[in-house]
Structure 1
Amino acid sequence: MNISTDASTDDEPTQNAAQKKLEAAALLFPELSSQLRLLSAYVTTLQESLTRVEALAEANAAGSSTLDELIGEVTNLNDLELALITRQDAAESAQQELGTMLRSAAASHQETLVHLVENFGRLDETMVAFGGRMDQGSAAVQNNIADLTRGFARIDETLVALGERLDQSNVTIQTRITDLTRGFARVDETLVALGDRLDRAIGIIAARLDALDHNMVQGFEIGRSTLWEVQAALAAQMKELPQALVDAGVGVGGGGGQSDDGVPVGEMIFPRAARDDVVTLDLAQEVGRFGLKIAEHTNAATSQVLELLPGRDLSAMGRNSPELRNLDWAPYISLSAIRVAHTLDAVERFAPRKAKVLDFGAYFGNFSIAMAHAGHQVDALDAYGGAFSGALEPFAEIMRTAGVNVIDVADVGYDLMRFGEGHYDVVLFMGAIEHVPHTPRQTLEAITRVLKRGGVLVLDTPNLGYVYNRKKFISGKTVFPPIEHQFEAEPPFFGHHREYLPDEIRWMLKRVGHEVLDERYFNYSGYGMSKLRGEHLALWRLTDEHPQLRELIFTVSRRPA
């Protein structure tokens, strides 16, 4: 291979020279062709001139042509002949030069062929030498193959020996498997026998447990009956305790075992209902008693708010009111349907149709949406952008969709100075007065100012005199939320600053010049229990007898005309 490459390199100058000569010869072909075409043209022209000369000569002989024309054509003929001779000489010269160049190129190619023949000779020698080396390599390969064959033969022998050892091992393993199978069979027999013994033992234990359970059930029934009898007897005796203490000169409450507002203290301390006495509470039925239209508006607004609650991040509301952290809002919204129904009923009774309403402290918007559904023009006011950090914005959006005008309190102020005097027919102040710090006077005066003459304020608030609050206080417990909620809050604190008694709400309304048109007390969170029994049932019935013990205070008051 190397020889062939070297020979090729040696022949390159000769080959290049021959190639260049051929290229130069090729360049002469166009010139030679051009000369030949010119010669052909001259020959044609010469033939035409000769023809005319002959014609002129015949004409001259006939006397029909002048001697001058004949002389002119002859002269022209001589010129063409000279030009033809010149072109012929040039063509012959080009032909000779081309012949010379072709012979030179042929000589160069001949030298190249000679060099190629020599190179092929050297290549043959190299191939012969390479063939010799291949023969030697083939012999070595044959030897290696022979060695491999002998190695494979030894491997075959080893594999045969290994197979024999594996056969022996398989026999041994099979023998051991047989022994294990017999052992497992014996274990199975033992387990079966043990299972039979366990079944008999379990049967004996079950029989004894049945007897024990029967005895326990009988004992429990006897104990429960005895407990109820003891509780009834104790309650009957304790019911007379307040009066007994009064008779003994100790005295409880305002006299005769009653509080100042006429509630029997003993029945709050020891509430009792019969063992089998159960009352079912129905939230839908309670809302439905206000009529079909009010129920429809209430349920629609409640459902719209509830649909937005799942997965909603309301943690921002807990910064200023820690008791709201991780609060499940769904029960609060659902049970507040009773409050919404009372509010729609009051507005229907005491306000004009299509009234202009301000929902002051609109929160989730369930009251505002219900009012809009009822055909009123509603402004919803609360801290939607500031204190709540936008947590309630989705609820503000559904209010807007319902036609409610949503206003941030930061744009108005708690003094409502943005609104002119006599701007609204109705102001709703639902579950809000207890959140007012310092004094509620300024807020009530601001509400009065924005009400039209004869406009109404609808207000509800937790009743400090709620029966469960009184029971807590008698037991020495606070009636307010845990102190850590207020203590750990970021100021300003948005929780309950003060809760009120019914006569306190009535006094404040009159103080700002209102006429109280309607005053109601009702329970609503109790509807979260589907059934009432025992202590809860007894306290519920006590609120039936004494309305001032109920959970909420609800009032409707009018600004004087």
Structure 2
Amino acid sequence: MTRPPATLRDFYENPAVPVASGAARSRRQARLLARALGPVRTGAPPATILDIGCGDGSAAAVAAEVLTGHRLVGVDWSQDALRRARTRIPWAVRGELTDGGLPFATGSADAVLFSEVIEHLVDPDAALDELRRVLRPGGHLMLSTPNLAAWYNRGLLLAGVQPVFSEVSMRGIHGRPGTQVVGHLRLCTARALRGFLTASGFEAVRIAGAPYHDVPRPLRPLDRAACRVPSLASILLAHARRAGG
């Protein structure tokens, strides 16, 4: 979303790079947002929801099933991803997370879905500034990102193993579990994410946990149980509101 070096841009334009995190997580995040927005009132205009970093649109399509009555617009800078997204959702436009890089007026969005994008960004500060710009005062931000301090990462670090989700190369896996390079540039803990959102002009930050779809099957019950303590969960789900509302 923020303009990366050419090699990084090429990486994300590659159709083989994963662009969605699974229907279950997308549905859970959409339900959280639906509860925050409340029921659609008869005669009221639909809420404008931006799915920033929509990828191929599969997550937005799942969210749209939950967020009926609202207008959901997908945004990405990858032309290949947008071509695929337009086969799944009615609106998908190009934009970048730079100053004024999103094609929306200041304060025009009621909510933003920002699903597992921030860990890929070169400049997350500029990204949060731009999200805050397009959100109306009091508008909702639903952000998800992998948890550096997930329960298994704590054990891996103690054993001297590179944590899951972290990467030292864009060309291959080195020293950590997993088989896919997914382009993560930075990771955070629940405490760090809360502090970052607050410093970026958001308030009422609430963080929940979500499981990770690629955890080995025998460990999935433990991964689901860890969600009860967000600081241990695989995935962090943050709900915040733009200050000033």
Q: Is the structural similarity TM-score above 0.5?
A: yes
CA distance in 2, matches of 1:495, 1:544: 24
CA distance in 2, matches of 1:504, 1:347: 22
Give the TM-score taking structure 1 as reference length: 0.35
Q: Partner of 2:150 in structure 1?
A: 466
Matches within 5 A, 1:276-291: none
Which of 183, 187, 198 pairs up with 1:499? 187
Q: Partner of 1:383 in structure 2?
A: 77
Matched, 1:395 2:84: yes
CA distance in 1, matches of 2:116, 2:168: 20
Q: Partner of 2:115 in structure 1?
A: 430
3-state SS of paired residue (1:495)? coil
Q: Is the 8 A contact 2:167 2:184 kept in 1?
A: no
Deviations 1:127-178 (A, max 9, x none): xxxxxxxxxxxxxxxxxxxxxxxxxxxxxxxxxxxxxxxxxxxxxxxxxxxx
Q: CA RMSD in A?
A: 3.3
Aligned-residue sequence identity (percent) comes to: 25
CA distance in 2, matches of 1:462, 1:483: 16
Q: Partner of 1:145 in structure 2?
A: none
Matches within 5 A, 1:121-160: none
CA distance in 1, matches of 2:9, 2:99: 25
Q: Partner of 2:124 in structure 1?
A: 440
Q: Partner of 1:415 in structure 2?
A: 99
Matched, 1:368 2:50: no
Deviation at 1:547, TM superposition (A): 3.8
Tell me how many residue pairs correspond in the alignment.
221
Q: Is the 8 A contact 1:321 1:486 kept in 2?
A: no
CA distance in 1, matches of 2:118, 2:166: 16
3-state SS of paired residue (2:73)? strand
Which of 505, 523, 529 pairs up with 2:211? 523
Larger relative strand fraction: 2
Q: Is the 8 A contact 2:197 2:205 kept in 1?
A: no
Larger radius of gyration: 1
Q: Partner of 1:549 in structure 2?
A: 232
3-state SS of paired residue (1:320)? helix
CA distance in 2, matches of 1:350, 1:541: 23
2:111 maps to amino acid = V
CA distance in 2, matches of 1:445, 1:318: 21
Q: Is the 8 A contact 1:422 1:449 kept in 2?
A: yes
3-state SS of paired residue (2:139)? strand
In structure 2, relative to structure 1, the CA distance for the partners of 1:476 and 1:383 (3 Å cut) is: same
Q: Is the 8 A contact 1:359 1:380 kept in 2?
A: yes
Deviation at 1:524, TM superposition (A): 3.1
Q: Which is bigger in relative contact order (C-alpha 8 A, separation at least 6)?
A: 2
In structure 2, relative to structure 1, the CA distance for the partners of 1:539 and 1:506 (3 Å cut) is: same
Deviation at 1:398, TM superposition (A): 1.4
Larger relative helix fraction: 1
CA distance in 1, matches of 2:159, 2:15: 28
Matched, 1:457 2:141: yes
Deviation at 1:539, TM superposition (A): 4.8
Q: Is the 8 A contact 1:415 1:442 kept in 2?
A: yes
Deviations 1:500-532 (A, max 9, x none): 000111001111221135320121315773xx2
CA distance in 1, matches of 2:208, 2:30: 14
Deviation at 1:433, TM superposition (A): 0.6
Deviation at 1:495, TM superposition (A): 1.5
